[in-house]
Structure 1
């Protein structure tokens, strides 16, 4: 089932005696979550991700705009009637109940014709537990479980209602790095098995890109860009998206275009056909550097970090907006240990932006070198 947001806005009143005005957490947000897909809602803390999730769930009422599940307008529908399963950041398990009782809880609170029989409740709870592979933990209490096991209980409790939509609010933030990797893979498998339309909220861009079919990037309550993860990474709409996506992050330089050439600190580093003359901000992905004795970009090498399959060359450049820049090369590429290193640039990994608006400035990368 598709989820469509149309012009969604949420404004909170000022709080405190000295506070003035209102705070707009989400501003005129419109996008569609395709049926049966896992969509990552991505952005820094405070960008409006959780507020958006709470409006979809029904925990918050929009100030303006509409929410549709398929063709049904659910904007004013109570949360319990929306058919939504929600997994919170802190899991919100009941500590005095067993795993089985926690999973059963949503079913036991259904009323009227929607309430299953006791036998059906047990069947559905055990099926949900089996789906997330915790069927051997049903008699335990939450305090007897690891963080990853508690997270699976929370997902099983959300799934047992057979929801139309599954909402996950940063469910991996309390787990260590290894468990995060394992658990996000499990979430992806569960979503594929069930086919439930799923919205996954996170500030971790690597997490979102690794499991999402589609990502939506937000900043200060405003939609910045949406699309397939690799497409957004390869074709950022603005400087914020380019900076936010990528590990290590993109290298950013102050430069200018002159006569169809990109100049960084007076070094002609790349042909940029079609770009207008004038000052620019240039972003170069770490994998966009190619060591080349005849390359136009000269950098001072600070150190080389061997990362197993990759080598990271940490350099300085007078036009770089950061203290250092990173170039990622394949292991065995023969990086020098010190001195000056020269690079040629891969045009498809170089992006130009307007210094004032931060909007993307296009150029013909296919014809560039």
Structure 2
């Protein structure tokens, strides 16, 4: 079932918690609500479920306006962070519970319930644990059972609130792969809340980035990683280094003693320059547009190395991610630091986006020219 949210607002007293939220979730799509604590993502999930009322706006599930419907009539399955399994029931009975308490006229026969639960046990890869109790299961196994219980009643949509938040890192990694596979098999419509960026990017078809009760960006994972739309998403998503820059009266961008002519009508003043760790290179040889940097530490992480360096452009340590086949650098030595791509902001406004082409890098006597991406 699809979900359609239009101009939804929610207040807690006089304080706005959600501000003019509009979001479409297609039938069979899994969407992640990603953001820091207090961004409004769990409140939005609870409103979809019917556990919290919104102040104004429209909410449709499967084309039906459901704002007036109580939670029990929305047919939304809900999975919480803390399992909420019935400890006195076996795994089998936990999954079957939602079916056994349906009104008699809607309740499947015992045979159908048994077949449905058996099929779900196969889907969650726990048929051998059907007669065990929750206390006899690992955290990851309990969360699989909780998900199967939510799916047993064939909900129109599935809502998950930090479903793997209470689990160890390795278990989380395994379960998000499993959830993605389960979704590809069953094609249910799902919305899940997470503060874990890797989880959102790996599991979801699209990611909704939220901040201060507003949607900052909606995009597929690959698009989101490459094309953040504003300063908040740029800083929030993944690692990013911040350099201090100045645009002069003559239209020169100065960063740490390096001058960069830019084809941009921008007012003079201070700017912030953002660059991802993997968009930086270190070399013992000067190249046009390089900064002098001091290597503070280098550490290997298997397929890549992480170097911490200082430069006058930052005034603090910045992170450089290097492939293992990159030239070796040693702690304590001076090197040349080059940015392959940067984003420049004044306040919340993006001024420019710069990428480095090989031809420019080989021939230019300054930073590569900037391709302007004005804010609209």
- From 266, 269, 281, the equivalent of 2:257 is 266
Conserved in 1, the CA contact under 8 Å of 2:256 and 2:314? Answer: no
CA distance in 1, matches of 2:304, 2:352: 30
Q: CA RMSD in A?
A: 1.8
SS at match of 2:72: helix
SS at match of 2:59: strand
Q: Which residue of 1 aligns with 2:334?
A: 340
Sort the Cα spacing of 1:65 and 1:302 in 2 relative to 1 into closer, same or farther, 3 A. Answer: same
Conserved in 2, the CA contact under 8 Å of 1:2 and 1:32? Answer: yes
**Which deviates further from its counterpart, 259-268 or 35-44?**
259-268
1:257 is aligned to 2:251: no
1:303 is aligned to 2:297: yes
- From 319, 324, 327, the equivalent of 1:326 is 319
1:23 is aligned to 2:15: yes
Conserved in 2, the CA contact under 8 Å of 1:272 and 1:364? Answer: no
Deviation, 1:291, is 2.5
SS at match of 1:362: strand
SS at match of 1:90: coil
SS at match of 2:234: helix
- From 243, 266, 270, the equivalent of 1:276 is 266
Q: Which residue of 2 aligns with 1:34?
A: 26
Conserved in 2, the CA contact under 8 Å of 1:166 and 1:196? Answer: yes
CA distance in 1, matches of 2:336, 2:15: 48
1:67 is aligned to 2:69: no
SS at match of 2:113: helix
For residues 278-325 of structure 1, the C-alpha deviation after alignment (integer angstroms, 9 at most, x for no partner) is 32211100111122422422222111111111111101123427x311
Sort the Cα spacing of 1:150 and 1:261 in 2 relative to 1 into closer, same or farther, 3 A. Answer: farther
Q: Which residue of 2 aligns with 1:164?
A: 156
SS at match of 2:18: strand
Q: Within 5 Å, give how 1:230-249 maps onto structure 2.
A: 230-246=222-238, 249=239
For residues 195-239 of structure 1, the C-alpha deviation after alignment (integer angstroms, 9 at most, x for no partner) is 011112100111111221100000111111111112122111222
**Which deviates further from its counterpart, 173-182 or 249-258?**
249-258
Sort the Cα spacing of 1:164 and 1:366 in 2 relative to 1 into closer, same or farther, 3 A. Answer: farther
SS at match of 1:113: coil
CA distance in 2, matches of 1:201, 1:118: 34
Conserved in 2, the CA contact under 8 Å of 1:275 and 1:363? Answer: no
Gaps of 5+ in 2: 358-367, 370-376
1:289 is aligned to 2:280: yes
Gaps of 5+ in 1: 14-21
Deviation, 1:343, is 2.1
1:216 is aligned to 2:204: no
Conserved in 1, the CA contact under 8 Å of 2:31 and 2:190? Answer: yes
Deviation, 1:122, is 1.6
**Which deviates further from its counterpart, 191-200 or 270-279?**
270-279
Conserved in 2, the CA contact under 8 Å of 1:272 and 1:365? Answer: no
CA distance in 2, matches of 1:167, 1:86: 5
Q: Which residue of 2 aligns with 1:19?
A: none
Conserved in 1, the CA contact under 8 Å of 2:340 and 2:356? Answer: no
Deviation, 1:366, is 6.9
SS at match of 1:299: strand
Conserved in 2, the CA contact under 8 Å of 1:287 and 1:327? Answer: yes
**Which deviates further from its counterpart, 151-160 or 328-337?**
328-337
- From 24, 48, 52, the equivalent of 1:56 is 48
CA distance in 2, matches of 1:27, 1:182: 35
Sort the Cα spacing of 1:159 and 1:334 in 2 relative to 1 into closer, same or farther, 3 A. Answer: same
Deviation, 1:277, is 4.6
Sort the Cα spacing of 1:260 and 1:138 in 2 relative to 1 into closer, same or farther, 3 A. Answer: farther
